[in-house]
Structure 1
């Protein structure tokens, strides 16, 4: 029986972020759509609690013999530590060296290491550039979340392998009507703008907080959901500096709480300076929440005209757009309807089928 081994290391990261959510949701969908005769499993490094990487329907995770840093260094140096299986799917650029007769597909979520290196640590920029460059030369295929990422990647690298765009989806748990007790526990403001994502420079939160202090901003609160990442983005300090007095940061929420946060928001703000996909945009649209997003190419592509686009790093434009959504019922209703139609184009099931097709095609080529 052929086996597809997935690298689920992101689920053990201190701040899993959007790629952690991507890994878990795609694994769930891949387990539900596995082709007859195939086995799906996962592996992680000897770091953290492997239970955090357990996904129903996926065998494992099997713990590799090295801790994370040693595993990264070993694979980077080309040591043939194959994680097993007939084919390997890397959910991030962390991937083993290619092996003759075995399939290897590597996911590249964005091109931030080239386009916006200042929003990452120097070490992160260096490692991602090296890892993605190796995959572009030696893997069997690359997965990217948007055509914008594919085009950008081709400008920065010479790619010798097939590159396929595979979108993301909406977590089904978010579509369930939240328990009123969950809503009460969150003690939500009557009206608020919601933003979701790891608190780090490229998410553009500084500009969002400053937008909420502009005279043209809607008279509502701002809730930001995200764990602190790198870069020392101090939301409370920024809010105090600019006089935005109704800003609240929630570091960690459950899917039930996230569903409640979405459903009670007047708008989702996605002010990122750079993105590869922008999963909260699709999730908000699916739940009938209007979206105001930056002109980062991937966000423009994913929103597909169903959101309001504003220039990056422009608090005044962002404030004006948010007010138009908050205070104009007709505009809001049109955005809600357009968003629901757009979100229907993205499902984890579709993504899982696309990934499986890639591995089946690779296996058919290598076993001719």
Structure 2
């Protein structure tokens, strides 16, 4: 019986304490890769060894198969260049956590010849979501910024292909981590959210919504300041706390914001309800690689106000209101304009729906399959 070729996706981000946007990307891409698999191919996932891997299970995807090392050891091993292969004929790393691909000059001796032959038969593509470790390192831990710089640089020099979500990231990557590996711009998609379910506590009638991890680069401090300048409008934050010790409640007290709702991480059904009830979505980030909440809000018919971070401007495509970063007065003015003008809000909703329709996870998956099939059809 002929052996069935397999694409293995590193799904470790699905098991992270705060999966964030890259966790959502991993899950949606896995689902789409399984649906769009070329004839004869299967899709599997791989994760580090741990007691519970249920959150990484995706319908239609084999696994997750557990690698022999626990999470921290796996991160350290791959960073050090240890050739722990996750299996399969092709590997896609949806974050920079990827198995090493050694340079040909290092393929010496029996081990080198064996490892070199293995890589000659397999393809590796790595998704790089942003260049924040170079452009805004202060919004990450020092260790996290250094690790990402090292792993991304290795990908641009040794992977078979690098995938980025926007041209803005591709351009930044060429400046900060240039390499011979081809870089492909493949945007995210828009998922079909499930039937809405309300959160345990009722939401206010009018609210500005923020969706994302609560961490410094997301501009939540600027948003709290901006909404405190508006009358009769609440601020709803949907997302898990991240690094940086951001305290929205303390920020609200400091700026005199009377109505703040912090929902934490919410399941997709609750997110659907929260999105559909929002008066406007605010995306005040200092830096982004894509900005998936922006696109999901547009798909749900919610007007969007976003910062002038290049990737957000690119993804919005003119369908949102753009404001300068770190400018609470400008953000407040834009939010006030949208909230006070049904005509402006209506135009943004129409433009946003059209813009969101241009993106799909199926299309993203098909383009990633093409990368692996092309790479696997020729010597590495």
Any idea what SS the aligned residue of 1:152 has? helix
Matches within 5 A, 1:292-331: 292-331=305-344
- Would you say 1:14 and 2:34 are equivalent positions? no
- Would you say 1:256 and 2:261 are equivalent positions? no
Residue 56 of structure 1: CA displacement? 0.3
Deviation per CA, 1:304-330: give whole Å up to 9, x if none. 000000000100000010011111011
Any idea what SS the aligned residue of 2:246 has? coil
> Contact 1:285–1:291 at 8 Å: present in 2 too?
yes
Q: Distance in 1 between matches of 2:26 and 2:176?
A: 25
Matches within 5 A, 1:211-360: 211-214=226-229, 217-360=230-373
> Contact 1:12–1:47 at 8 Å: present in 2 too?
no
- The correspondence for 2:152, drawn from 126, 132, 141, is 132
> Contact 1:43–1:63 at 8 Å: present in 2 too?
yes
Residue 100 of structure 1: CA displacement? 3.3
Residue 280 of structure 1: CA displacement? 0.4
Residue 183 of structure 1 is matched in structure 2 by: 198
- Would you say 1:207 and 2:207 are equivalent positions? no
Deviation per CA, 1:60-106: give whole Å up to 9, x if none. 00000001111111111111111111110001000001233310000
Q: Distance in 1 between matches of 2:205 and 2:310?
A: 33
Number of residue pairs matched? Answer: 360
Tell me the TM-score normalized by structure 1. Answer: 0.96
Is the deviation greater in 244-253 or in 199-208?
Answer: 244-253
- The correspondence for 1:41, drawn from 37, 41, 44, is 44
Any idea what SS the aligned residue of 2:156 has? helix
Runs of 4+ in 1 over 4 A off after TM superposition: none
Flag structure 1 segments of 5+ consecutive residues without an equivalent. Answer: none
> Contact 2:199–2:270 at 8 Å: present in 1 too?
no
Structure 1 vs Structure 2 CA RMSD? 1.1
Q: Distance in 2 between matches of 1:185 and 1:78?
A: 47
Tell me the TM-score normalized by structure 2. Answer: 0.93
- Would you say 1:52 and 2:55 are equivalent positions? yes
Q: Distance in 1 between matches of 2:81 and 2:72?
A: 14
Residue 35 of structure 1: CA displacement? 0.4
Q: Distance in 2 between matches of 1:315 and 1:24?
A: 34
Deviation per CA, 1:270-323: give whole Å up to 9, x if none. 000000000000000001000000000000000000000000010000001001
Residue 111 of structure 2 is matched in structure 1 by: none
Residue 165 of structure 2 is matched in structure 1 by: 145
Deviation per CA, 1:169-217: give whole Å up to 9, x if none. 1121x2x552xxx337440100101000011000000000011112xx2
> Contact 1:12–1:48 at 8 Å: present in 2 too?
no
Q: Distance in 2 between matches of 1:271 and 1:219?
A: 21
> Contact 1:278–1:298 at 8 Å: present in 2 too?
yes
Residue 101 of structure 1 is matched in structure 2 by: 121
